[in-house]
Amino acid sequence: MKNRKFEVVEENPKREPRKRAEHIGSKLWLIVPGIALAAGAWFAFAYFYTDYLWFSSLGFQTVFGTVLTAGLLSAVIFGAAAGVLTFLNLRLAARRSPEPPVIIYDADETDDEETPPRLEQIPISILLRRAALPAGAIVGLLAAFSGWNLGETFLRYFYQVPFGAADPIFGRDIAFYVFTMPALEAISGIALLVLIVNLVGAALIYLAHTRVETNKRTRKSGKIEFPTAGRTHLLSLGAALLLLVAWKTYLAMPNLLL
């Protein structure tokens, strides 16, 4: 039999404290968010449980359930609509942008040496192309929080009762101003914010993919080529934004009666 040599490799004792520190640090990144989520869940539970006790003491548990269901439904509808629209809009902007985005450095006209053009990729454009999903999730969560507070507003709208009296100018029933107007204003307000975010996000993506021609020595920008497909996209979003502003202006007229 051949003799086999076994070598015993001793671990460096200096690495153990470092490994322990890294292990503890990795655990802290999980513990701190967990504590924050647990604290938020506890306060939310205390808030809803207090309301439930108050409604149940009066015998109106069904009313509490109806309000809670309306808040959940409005949060899901607004959050899903805003998140999906933002994701699709930014995804469309990323797909219609040229690939890859570059800056073109030209040689100085006064330079005797002939230097070929040099291309450099813009790092921020890569990040913006991947920002569609997180941006949609963030916008969806913000819209869901806004929709959660509008549950009672939409309950009043769907279960409104006419007052039997009309205003002397527009001839609308007073119930329109008490029940319908708050719901229309809430929808238009959230839609306006979502449109502004989508317009700014799409504009940033197209700007990051713009081809810029600069002088190598002076670093002065010359020819700028904005993506052609981005013009139609941004103009469409701008037109939708103006239509929404016109709708809010129309709603401002009956608001004067209040």
Q: Residue 200's Cα: distance from chain center in Å?
A: 11
195 in Cβ contact with 240 (< 8 Å): yes
**Ranges 45-49, 180-184, 238-242: which has the least confidence:** 45-49
Confidence of residue 119 (pLDDT cuts 50, 70, 90): very low
Q: Residue 206's Cα: distance from chain center in Å?
A: 18
- At residue 230, the pLDDT reads 81
Strands (E) across the chain are located at 102-106, 118-121, 211-215, 221-225
230 in Cβ contact with 93 (< 8 Å): yes
145 in Cβ contact with 193 (< 8 Å): no
CB neighbours of residue 37 within 10 Å: 10
Strands of the 102-106 sheet, one edge to the other: 118-121, 102-106, 211-215, 221-225
Query: 116 pLDDT exceeds 70?
Result: no
Amino acid at 195: L
Query: 99 pLDDT exceeds 90?
Result: no
Q: Which two tokens stand for residue 68?
A: 């809670």
3-state secondary structure of 7: coil
3-state secondary structure of 166: strand
Query: 47 pLDDT exceeds 90?
Result: no
Q: Is 219 exposed, middle or buried (0-12, 13-18, 19+ CB in 10 A)?
A: exposed
Question: Over the stretch 64-77, which tens digit does the pLDDT of each residue have?
Answer: 889 889 999 999 99
| Phi, psi of 105, rounded to the nearest 5 degrees | -100, 115
Q: Which two tokens stand for residue 12?
A: 């460096």
